[in-house]
Amino acid sequence: MRILTPVFAFALLLLAACSPGGQNTSAADQAKVVRIASIGYYADGKLNVGGNQTAAVYTRKVLEERLAKRGVTVEWVPISQSLGGPGFNEALASKKVDFAAYGDFPAIIARAGGIPIKLVVPAGRGSNSYLVVPAGSKAQSIEDLKGKSIALQRGRPGELAFNQLISSKGLTRADFKIFNIAADAAASSLAAGQIDAAFIGPAAYLLEDKGVGRVIWSSKGTNWKWRSELFVREDFSRDNPGLTQEVVEGYISAAYWSSQDANREEAQTLISRNGTPLSVVQRDSENDIEWKAKWSPLFDGYMEEHYRDAVAFTSSEKLIPQAFDVKDFFEPKYVEQALKNQKLEGYWTARQGSK
């Protein structure tokens, strides 16, 4: 293992989990190190990386093993949750990382802003958002919160789900008092009675467990998810197609392993290493998408529709200068080849969009 110096002034620390790994290489490949950014967290007295898609890849050293025969090392670059999207985008723009496992909104902003990246491994069917109110609130729905204060972190992936929810009820943001507050601060504000509701992630269950909050809506059973998946710098994939294929192969094999019912609890435990209680990870998966489908890496109509909606929304909100064709944002050939190589064609079922 090798510890790197910090990449950003505001990032956590950089950790290089370098274990050589490998398979056959392409003559065109030039890199001897593959650098992958993901959200960082402390566990077992050290800095690690995680996230639903990356947890099994990182913890089970999938890539280190695959790349060993090639003499190529893996450097995992943790980015702090507080820094989020801008940290990932700076790392990609400055070529300090080759891949990034992060959210749809910041990746769209990067692409629209001229950072040449492409999505190479989709991460299933997306993640859930929750609308939570104080435990003593009489509100039962979003309509009951009209004119009330709601904490919503602007410019983050969950904002699209919020917009889809209120639009479905004939409402707009002008019908509420929106406070742009980060998720952690929103939870504290809700517990302190300073706001009437918060639109956050699975941490909503923690507020229920503490008796200070009550979930009145979630995106379960809807297509209104937010996504976080693996992106690659276009120049890296162009110069290192064999390495890019190997990284994708590793992510596909980890997705297959995670998708099996026999590995469900272990996969959830790996996700919970980031500090999210296992019970929260488990409840977030209940009564929603079928477990196997949760890990689908397919470039299908469902995923394409999500990105069309997300690009249209970020454009309308002036988060990006103009919309772009999402098909130019995708690079499916590596996943297609990995599925063939691992005899997983037909294992996951493609899903069409809802429109």
Say if residues 335 and 299 touch (Cβ distance below 8 Å): yes
What pLDDT was estimated at residue 184? 83
The rounded mean pLDDT for the chain is: 89
43 vs 117, more confident: 117
pLDDT of 337 above 60: yes
pLDDT tens digits for range 232-269: 999 999 999 999 999 999 999 999 999 999 999 999 99
pLDDT of 11 above 70: no
What pLDDT was estimated at residue 42? 84
User: At the topology level of CATH, where does 130-218 sit?
Assistant: D-Maltodextrin-Binding Protein; domain 2 (3.40.190)
Tell me if domain 2-126+227-341 and domain 130-218 are identical in fold.
Answer: yes
Dist. CA 148–CA 182, nearest whole Å: 18
Say if residues 80 and 40 touch (Cβ distance below 8 Å): yes
Instruction: Please list, residue by residue across 36-73, b when 16 or more beta carbons sit within 10 angstroms of its beta carbon and e when fewer do.
Output: bbbbbbeeeeebbbbbbbbbbbbbbebbbbbbbebebb
What pLDDT was estimated at residue 345? 96
What pLDDT was estimated at residue 354? 67
What pLDDT was estimated at residue 28? 62
45 vs 26, more confident: 45
What pLDDT was estimated at residue 8? 38
Instruction: Give the global pTM.
Output: 0.88
Domain borders along the chain are: 2-126+227-341, 130-218
CATH of region 2-126+227-341 = 3.40.190.10
